[in-house]
Structure 1
């Protein structure tokens, strides 16, 4: 058979990779594809392929699976763990089960850890192992977190993860490793890591695989876990039941200003996706700043309520389809629409937020980065509250002039918008991060927590 062609489909924002495998006969397999099927469908169409199989390695917590959508719209056969007890049509696989792909074969390997029902899929050409879709088990330079199913099961699943990784390392060194989670994923992967690897390379370089024993592995894995967005707690069960099948692509319906005002009065939230400087210059009071960028979905899922209607405010050049799809793929179905005409259509007073340069920090600092970022280097005396925790801890923030900061400014503006909604005034946002401040002032950063 000709060389196997596996095309990674990278979602830079969520830090994940889906995969498209050309089966050589006009059909394709996709692995861990999200409900936003634009990349997968486009890649298949360009190659003249029909997606015949969709395999999910686990019940995803960070995005809605697109497998059920493919099954409903294209007749795709869904492959997944029988232990996941999915409530929609699929082929439930147990350890060692194989699926004939037409020349190639897919063998299910139970690899619990990231989730209790996790499968890896070993791709075989005749009897030769070619590569393994490792999902959230073996990652490049890491292993996926084990606390998403339930915090009280984190250690038991970490011990299962240890055994699963040892099982995978029994494969030949030349076998390709195709993980789902990669750099930027809150499911745990080191920043800057490559997206794919080989068994041999991971055995030689992955720090977790070099742990001297199980206890050391568990301690290292659990010690590396940071926080994650609250929507992770909801999506696994939605994926088990089966995400609703979309009849049409999600859109942002235009809403006139009167309707937007009425919606906000009834409890809707306004999500302003414009760049930081545009939000700073003028924004609707009480709106939440989440700039549209690759990480938009993650921060929407972290900061915006999922159980109230959301109204979007964007600039004319920002793609409404991208906004709608990013929200939809993480389960935000309550998009009421967008303010037609943008900020120029708003006919009431606006709010403004000052942006300051690295050499203009003249007041107490609130650093809202992740704990690991803060520990690596922060301004002396800075107060620290992670952005994801801020909505529940606004009462801890003193009602005094503050500079809010992150690494670049996008997250800091989101934090400032939360504080402004809570009644804080005289806030400024730092344009840049701690390194910029140190370079501008000649002062050293503090480390540790």
Structure 2
């Protein structure tokens, strides 16, 4: 595989290509349908993860543009927040998680079985008139930070409920794996098996599900749907040379794959200590720093990093290191548009940086970052968040500085291919509605 290959061209099917022409004719006339199509969007939305909400936003924009007559409902983690942000009807993923008082005690007494039965009954009740359930992007099929009876069980229950009432299920540009807990792996693989349509955001995800027994022969690969989001006005980098750059440093509150496991605090402290050394190097060499986040909880990491840098450089002017909150991927992209180079941990920090053509170094906690970087021709600019070497990072940064114009051109060429590939997938999705 070469970085210039089109993902969709490498994993195409005749029916996908055939779907392009009818999709261009525009949405079907409402009179052709007996009733409005009802589409449910499923995922961990509204919980403060900007990447997840950006994936939801990209799918809502597409459906409103191409199927404006469809009735949309979002099955999500925080219904009130999703309704506030996107103005659509919502349902909670789980009712048992919100039990309080006596009912919560009774549920615990009976090993939480009553709560799970309530969840199943409510799932069937709320999905019975649905035509299509779409899981729009996100790393929905991994168990990062999840116990089996959390999201792994939830996605299985909703996919099973959809099939029971005759609704179609589409997993669209999702991420999959790793799934380290055996029960979580069974639940998530079973959920994927229930889908009518599956596409993955990278080869890694497809190969993982194939390795755990799923038949992926008819599945496709398309880029992460966040690449479809509209970018803010994107002026060229303001720096005239390498003497003074603004570097975006994406910070994450990272405590290991299972954040609730022992040793998480030590992992977090080591990450912040090493990242602070790199930031101090940038500042000492005349560069400015803008801290980037991808989830509301990342404020903990930002505060810790600012404190660590402050101890090393107590007289640092506040203008040299800027830390502003982001509440959406649009906010994040607006901040990235003001930097020259990005060094980031979170996957959608990397996605947004690449979307804007910024040369990027990844300090990822999962192979998904590495695979995306390899697709962009940036495979040499990756390290793992728990094992990265500061001296190596400094060398990688120096390499990017020397060749950043070349990196920028290469990235933008690839992003345009990603957008074309996603148009192909959109065309096929319209045939499911």
Whether the TM-score (by the shorter chain) exceeds 0.5 is: no
Tell me the TM-score normalised to structure 2 length. Answer: 0.35
| Structure with more relative contact order (C-alpha pairs < 8 Å, separation 6 or more) | 2
Q: Which has the larger radius of gyration?
A: 1
Name the structure with the higher helix share. 2
Tell me the TM-score normalised to structure 1 length. Answer: 0.34
Name the structure with the higher strand share. 1
